[in-house]
Amino acid sequence: MKQIWKKGRGKLGVMQPLLGKWEATSDSPMGKFKCSREFSLTLGGKYIQLNAVWDFGNKQYVEHAIYGIADDKLRFWSFTSDGKQSQGEIADGTDIHQEAISFEANMPAGLARMIYWPNSDETMNWAVESKNKKGWNRFTMHKYALI
Euclidean distance between CA atoms 142 and 133, whole angstroms: 25
pLDDT for position 101: 98
Give the lowest-confidence range in 21-25, 54-58, 89-93. Answer: 54-58
pLDDT for position 1: 64
**Domain spans in the chain, listed from the N-terminal domain onward:** 11-146
pLDDT tens per residue across span 81-140: 999 999 999 999 999 999 999 999 999 889 999 999 999 999 999 999 999 999 999 999
pLDDT tens per residue across span 43-52: 999 999 999 9
The CATH superfamily assigned to 11-146 is Calycin beta-barrel core domain (2.40.128.20)
pTM for the predicted model, two decimal places: 0.94
Conformation bin of residue 71: beta by default, left when phi > 0, alpha when psi is -120 to 50 = left
Collapsing DSSP to helix, strand or coil, 38 comes out as: strand
Query: Which of 61, 115, 59, 43 is CA-nearest to residue 51?
Result: 61
Euclidean distance between CA atoms 74 and 79, whole angstroms: 17
pLDDT tens per residue across span 138-147: 999 999 999 9
Query: Which of 102, 62, 101, 103 is CA-nearest to residue 83?
Result: 62
What's phi and psi for 2, nearest 5 deg?
-70, 135
